[in-house]
Amino acid sequence: MKKIILTLLILSTNILANTFTTQNSVVKVFASISRPDYKYPYQTSKISKFTGSGAIIGDHRILTSAHVVSGARFIEIKKEDDAKRYIATVKYISHQSDLAILEVKDKDFFKDTHALKLSENIKTKDEVTVLGYPVGGNTISTTIGVISRIEYVSYVWSGSDLLAIQIDAAINSGNSGGAVVNAKNELVGIAMMKLGKTSNISYVVPAVIINTFLEDVKDGIVNGFHSGSVIVQEINNDSQKKLYGLEQRSGVIITYTGIDETLLKVDDILLEVDDKDIANNGTVKTKYGRVEFSMAFHVKQLSQSVKLKILRDKKELTLNYNLKKVAPLINKEFGKEPRYIIYGGLVFTPLTRNYLSSANSSSRGLHMLFYQKKKTVDYEEPVIITNTIFPNEVNRGYRLSSYILVKVNNKKIKDFQHLVSVLEDVTDEFTVFEFLEKRKVVLSTKEAKNSLTDIMNIYNLKSDRRLKWKSLK
């Protein structure tokens, strides 16, 4: 199986000679970003400098990629042919769609600039131009390409599946957030990511997703895109169709619903969404061709609903389905300092995708959790012990990896905050930790609590805990 690598477009090279007429609509973004270390959550975040691109749109707003400015402590922007840098701040950010809006306090910045108009009217084989500021030069760079596909992909920044435009323009890192325009100089998308180890396969956030984001923030709040807890399966086998009475119809079957789902049930067949037939492969007809039926959910706001026609027990039902945003059991955090608590020299933290990425862990238990565990009423957030131990007399003899915590003194741990409460209230002689990997750790409760001062002094720790998210925005 070939490994597919999608790369975010920060800091790379791309050189082209042309000067494009809308160069006064594109800016260079300079961001000083704080990137927390989830593997060592007690350490101070390091500051790194990145550059990207941005597109000027109406109402003195600058549109860019979320991954260009997420966690930014300081942002500057610069126009083409202008040596001055202007201070900018993040007004809104949608990690799901990898989009952000910057605002500039000094409105003189927008003098002699042109706000791009968005257009959702695209089709395959349309020619587009990408404008941005990749490394390899200081001036604006343009590349020309053709739209190859318009389909659902996994956005590498968030892991969310959303509509994207695939183009064959040779764009690279540094183009992130840059404008992708059509022959009329209309903004059809924002440069987002490229397919690694390939030649000229890149992806763009399309205007239809951008417009949904812009509509979302009109009330001053980023609510995000629909993200439910329903899993569906295609129905392509003749025996399947016969079993569910679909010989003359098409649709997909629901194979799983999470605890947050109250309307749909396992074995329901989704037949239509907003009066559009759902094919057996889960697609519907749109102006972009056949795309996943999820698009009907993703072009609406969370306050809205979609109309579903389903087959339940071979009877057709019509439902108004309210859109929602449900966090998965193992979530990815953005723009936050990680939570942790140190007890007896052991470090506990919530299991997030951030931790998995930073720790590169191959723990069998972590993978078991992915495939076997789901969010339940009494299990909302997995907690792990990290493979870092601050050696002390209280924890002598233990060699640990990243294990998933199940119980403390026979109490099932519901989430990270529950663990903190249990540790603060424990009065037993011993504190016994039980892990999914069939491991146990036993500490003297009195020694564990008394060791805190020594451990903090010896290892120069500023705190033994961070119990709430600290925003890096």
Q: Which two tokens stand for residue 321?
A: 């389905």
The angle subtended at Cα 223 by Cα 156 and Cα 332, nearest 5°, is 35
Count CB neighbours of 316 within 10 A: 12
In order of 97, 379, 390, 398, the CA distances from 461 in angstroms are: 37, 31, 10, 21
Question: Among this protein's residues, is 65 annotated catalytic?
Answer: no
Closest CA to 113 of 78, 76, 65: 78
Nearby residues of 288 by Cβ (< 8 Å), 6 or more positions away: 122, 123, 150, 163
Nearby residues of 192 by Cβ (< 8 Å), 6 or more positions away: 8, 9, 65, 98, 155, 157, 164, 176, 202, 203, 204, 205
Q: For residue 135, give the DSSP letter.
A: B
The angle subtended at Cα 292 by Cα 287 and Cα 293, nearest 5°, is 85
Q: Could you tell me the sign of the dihedral formed by the alpha carbons of 408, 413, 416, 418, in that order?
A: negative
Active-site residue among 25, 34, 97, 98?
98
Whether 63 contacts 54, CB under 8 Å: yes
Active-site residue among 25, 141, 176, 402?
176
Q: Give the helix ranges, DSSP H, for 308-465.
A: 353-359, 364-372, 416-425, 445-450, 452-458
Question: Among this protein's residues, is 34 annotated catalytic?
Answer: no
- Rg (C-alpha) for the chain, rounded Å, is 25
Active-site residue among 25, 53, 65, 67?
67
For every residue of 30-47, DSSP letters joined together read EEEEEE--SSSTTSPPEE
17-30 as b/e: b if 16+ CB within 10 A: eeebebbbbbbbbb
Cα distance between residue 98 and residue 69, in whole Å:
10
Q: For residue 81, give the DSSP letter.
A: T
Give the bridge partners for 163, in sequence order: 152
Q: Give the helix ranges, DSSP H, for 285-412.
A: 295-298, 353-359, 364-372
Whether 12 contacts 134, CB under 8 Å: yes
Q: What are phi and psi of 229, to 5 degrees?
A: -120, 30
Question: Among this protein's residues, is 176 annotated catalytic?
Answer: yes
Cα distance between residue 288 and residue 123, in whole Å:
6
Question: Which residues are annotated as catalytic?
Answer: 67, 98, 176
